[in-house]
Chains A and B, each alone.
Chain A
Amino acid sequence: MQGDSESSDRELTAASGDDGRAETPNSDRVTFDRRGVRAGFLTCVPVAIGVAGYGVAFGVLASQVGLSVAEAALMSALVVAGASQIVAVELWANPVPVTAILVTTFAINLRYSLMGAALQPWFRRLSAPKAYGSLFFMADENWALTMRDFRAGNRRGAFLLGSGIAIWTFWVGSTIVGTLAGGTVGNPAQYGFDFVLAAVFVALAAELWEGRSTLVPWVISLGTAVTAAELLPGRWYILLGGFAAALVEVIRHDR
């Protein structure tokens, strides 16, 4: 199957490569094609393997609170937001505390609104189904890789979708493995998987650094986030850090 798609892809490239090339000088253009999906997928596979470490941990937790394999897999397939899923199963009890779980899910995932907004310069050029369909697959890791790709000057609008499919596949698969394995699996921290997310973001920070103009918003974001993380529960600090930096930038724009 892999070979098939590769050869047909190459034929497509050979047949339409020049047309595609001719349109690149228009800097406003954002593509959305199979090559973008594939680039995103392949770039994200090593990261997705790290994510799978979390997926196994989530599956183990889910099985311990009594979720069936089907229920845990369904949650991973439909929600696709690791931190909120892990917190949800930690809250899971009999009877299920529905309100607490849903409010926490919202609070933890609100940061995604800010991440989606950050994609706007590129995504406003995509049709609504493409943009909003891709966002279903957005997770921290593939958002980071997608920003990296856009910042590098690539305009592959399908990159988020491709990298998201990689995350989704490994996330759902590893959830099933973890739920089946139950208590027999050790701690993912043992293999350093818990550090993958931090490593992705350190690498991304290195690339997003644009010299001294970056310093003020970053210092404000850092100070706000570290303070908020001390004072507030959940992941409000991500939202507050990003919002504070953007607000200060809006205020000092004229100067």
Chain B
Amino acid sequence: MIGDGALSLDPVAVGVILAMAVITYATKTGGLWLVNRIEMSDRLEAGLSVLPGAIVIAILGPELAAGGPAEWGAAALVLAVMWRTESILLALGTGVVSVVVLRGVL
């Protein structure tokens, strides 16, 4: 199976991949570029300061809403471990193990 085909590069595929890379890099840098260039008022700074938490919640909300009791239970356990230990590694391990167990049980 690992023959000549494995290393082949189709020009169209490479072109699409390069364009995807340029677009993605533009999205990753565009936000910083923009806020570095505009006059920062207190107001705007207050808005920016809530961004990290708001983005985290915006990613998490629909993801958990799309899940079920297993995901909700595992998320609650992650929260509890995080509160108790403040160890992200322990919290992650708890989350992954508990979601597998809960999916099996529920």
Q: Which A residues contact B (CB, under 8 angstroms)? A: 43, 46-47, 50, 67-71, 74-75, 78-81, 84-85, 88, 95-96, 98, 101-102, 105-106, 109-121, 123-124, 131-132, 135-136, 138, 140, 144-145, 147-148, 151, 180, 182, 190-193, 195-210, 214, 217-218, 220-222, 224-226, 229, 237-242, 244-247, 249-250, 253-254
Chain B interface residue number, banded: 35 or more
Provide the main secondary structure of the chain B interface.
helix
Secondary structure at the A interface, as helix, strand, loop or mixed, is: helix
Known contacts A116-B28, A148-B88; 11 further A-B pairs (Cβ under 8 A): A69-B7, A78-B20, A120-B36, A135-B28, A192-B96, A202-B75, A203-B82, A217-B53, A221-B54, A229-B61, A238-B58
Contact check, A199 vs B51: say whether CB atoms are below 8 A apart. no
A83 to chain B, nearest CB (A): 11
Contact B47 A250 (CB under 8 A): yes
Of all chain A residues, the one with the shortest Cβ separation from B55 is A242
19 contacts between A and B (CB under 8 A): A71-B9, A88-B20, A101-B20, A102-B16, A102-B23, A106-B27, A110-B27, A113-B27, A115-B55, A118-B52, A120-B36, A140-B59, A151-B52, A199-B78, A203-B82, A209-B53, A222-B58, A245-B51, A246-B51
Contact partner of A192 (CB less than 8 A), chosen from B19, B36, B83, B97, is: B97
With known contacts A117-B32, A118-B51, A202-B95, A208–B56 Cβ distance under 8 A: yes
Contact A198 B48 (CB under 8 A): no
Residues in B whose Cβ lies below 8 Å from that of A217: 50, 53-54
Which among B9, B61, B67, B93 has the highest number of chain A CB atoms within 10 Å?
B61
Closest to A199 in B: B95
Inter-chain contact A225/B62, CB cutoff 8 Å:
yes
Instruction: Select from chain A the residue with minimum beta-carbon distance to B6.
Output: A69
Chain A residue contacts of B57, Cβ below 8 A: 205, 218, 221-222, 225, 241, 245
Residues of A within 8 A of B43 (CB): 250, 253-254
- What residue of chain A has the Cβ atom nearest to residue B17's Cβ? A75
> A50 near B96 (CB under 8 angstroms)?
yes
CA distance A114 to B102 in the complex (A): 34
